[in-house]
Amino acid sequence: MPDVPNHSLDNEFPENRDIIHQLNNNNPDFAKMATRYHDLDRQIRTLERNEIPTTDEHFEELKMERLQLKDQLYAIIRNTERTLH
């Protein structure tokens, strides 16, 4: 079983853990996107770790959606960070 990195938001943006927690509790749109992001990350890691057969196209679509969500979530994190400082 290969070692597959966890791309949770806390792991991706450790310096923003407090803001991520705050947004998850106070911003329903952020929380919904974060939940979808984590679901996608779990799916991708499960496919990689267990070497589950899937098409390259499907796998790349999952990774692309995760990346797009990550970019959107990071933009919200950065905007929130700016308003706090």
The encoded tokens of residue 19 equal 């803001």
Tell me the whole-structure pTM to 2 decimals: 0.88
pLDDT value for 2: 61
Q: What pLDDT shows up at residue 1?
A: 54
User: Hey, where are the domains in the chain?
Assistant: 9-84
Structure-token pair, residue 50: 């267990």
What pLDDT shows up at residue 5? Answer: 76
Q: What is the pLDDT along the chain (85 residues), one digit of tens a residue?
A: 567 778 899 999 999 999 999 999 999 999 999 999 999 999 999 888 887 777 889 989 999 999 999 999 999 999 999 998 7
- Return d(Cα 16, Cα 19) in angstroms, integer: 5
pLDDT for position 55: 84
Which pair of structure tokens corresponds to residue 55? 């098409």
Kindly tell me the burial class for residue 4, based on how many C-beta atoms sit within 10 Å of its own C-beta (0-12, 13-18, 19 or more): middle
